[in-house]
Amino acid sequence: MAVDTSRPLDPAAGAKRARGRGGRVRKAGTPPPRRIRNALARHWYAWAMVAPVVLVIGLIIGYPLVRGVYLSLTDANEANVERTIGINHIPATYKTVGLDNFQAILEDQVFWDRLGWTVTWTVSCVALTFAIGLGLAVLLNRRFAGRTLYRSLLILPWAVPAFVSVFAWRLLYNEKNGILNKVLHGGGIDAVPWLNDPTMAKVSVIAVNIWLGVPFMLVALLGGLQSIPGELYEAAEMDGASPWQRFRHITLPGLRSVSSTVILLSTIWTFNMFPVIFLLTRGGPGDSTEILVTYAYRLSFVNSPRDFAGASAWGVLILLILMLFAVIYRRSLRKQGEVW
C-alpha cells in the first residue's frame, strides 16, 4: 500500500486546530462554547415547550410563596393593609417586625398542641392507608373472577372530588339521621356522637381520610407488584419458601422504591389535608381536630381582625417542617441504598 508523502507532517498545524467536545474542530484561540449557550442551541424546542409551564407555576406558586414569606416578617392584619373603601384608597401602614411572629408562635402552647395532633393524624392516616392499600394490592394482583370490577370499585373514591366525598360522609355521621346510627339503632345500640365527641371526631376524620387515600396507595403498589418478576416467586416456592417468607423477602424489597415515594407524597398530602378536617368538623368539636393548616386558614379568613402576618408565619413553619421531614426521609433512604 503506497503512502502519500507529498504533504509534510507539520506538528505546528495540530496546535492551530483543536478538537472540541463531540468531535467538533475549532480554531486555536477561540473560546470554547459556553454550556448554557450550548444547551439553548441544542434543546431550544424543549425550552420553548417548558417555558409556559414554568411561567404559570411561577405565577401560581412562586409569587404567593414569596409574598407569604414577606408577610410573615411583618405585622400585617385586616386593619393596616392596603384597601379601598368606596372611592377612598387607604394605603398600607404595616411594618417589618423581623422574626417576632415566629417567636410568638413557638412560645405559644397552641402551636405545639396543633403540631402534636397533626403529627398523630398524619402518622395514623399514612400507616393505615399504606397497610390497607398494600393488602388490597396483593389480593388484586392475583387472578380471580371479577378482578376488573373490584379494581374499578376500589378506585372510585379517588375519582370522586374530595369535597363531595366529605359531604357524603358528613351525612353518614349525622347523629340523628345518619345511616351509621340508624344501623346501630337497629341492632339495639345507642347513637354514637361521631362528630360531637372529641375522641370520636378524631377517629371519624381519620377514617374518611383513609377512605380517600387507599385508592392512590392501591394503584401505586399494584403497579409495583406487577413489575416484580414472577420467576422470583416460582424459584422461592420451589425452594420451599412459605407465603410469608416470599412476601417478606421478595414482595417488600421489590416494592421498596415505590413505597418510599408514595409514603413521602402521602405524608405531605395528609399533613396539609385541609378539606377533610374543615368540611367535616371545621376543627371541632372545640378545637380537638384542628391541624396546622386549618388553624392558619382560621387566622387569615375566619377570626376578626384577620391576622395575615400570623397566618403567613404559620404557613412558612408548615413548609419548613415538611422540607425538614423530606430531607431526613431522603437521607435515611440513601443510607439504605435507595437513591431517587
Task: List Cβ neighbours of 25 (8 Å cut-off, separation of 6 or more).
Answer: 17, 18, 19
Taking a C-beta distance cutoff of 8 angstroms, is the pair 229, 286 a contact?
no
pTM for this prediction = 0.80
Q: How many CB atoms lie within 10 A of CB 185?
A: 11
Average confidence score pLDDT of the chain: 85
Q: How many CB atoms lie within 10 A of CB 296?
A: 23
pLDDT-based confidence at 337, cuts 50/70/90? low
Taking a C-beta distance cutoff of 8 angstroms, is the pair 310, 101 a contact?
yes
pLDDT score recorded for residue 318: 95
Residue pLDDT, tens place only, 6-24: 444 444 444 444 444 444 4
CA distance 207 to 202: 9
pLDDT score recorded for residue 338: 58
Task: Judge residue 278's burial from the number of C-beta atoms within 10 Å of its C-beta, 0-12 exposed, 13-18 middle, 19 or more buried.
Answer: buried
Q: Is the CA virtual torsion 173, 179, 185, 189 positive or negative?
A: negative
pLDDT score recorded for residue 5: 46
CA 5, chain centre distance (Å): 70
Task: Judge residue 325's burial from the number of C-beta atoms within 10 Å of its C-beta, 0-12 exposed, 13-18 middle, 19 or more buried.
Answer: middle
Looking at per-residue pLDDT, the higher value among 39 and 198 belongs to: 198
Looking at per-residue pLDDT, the higher value among 47 and 191 belongs to: 191
Q: What is the residue type of 138? A: V
Residue pLDDT, tens place only, 247-278: 999 999 999 889 988 999 999 999 999 999 99
- pLDDT average, residue stretch 288-317: 93
pLDDT score recorded for residue 69: 94
pLDDT score recorded for residue 30: 46
- pLDDT average, residue stretch 135-146: 86
Residue pLDDT, tens place only, 73-123: 999 998 888 888 888 888 888 899 999 999 999 999 999 999 999 999 999
* Whether residue 241 has pLDDT greater than 50: yes
Q: What is the residue type of 103? A: Q
**Percentage of the residues of the chain whose pLDDT score is greater than 90:** 50
* Whether residue 289 has pLDDT greater than 60: yes
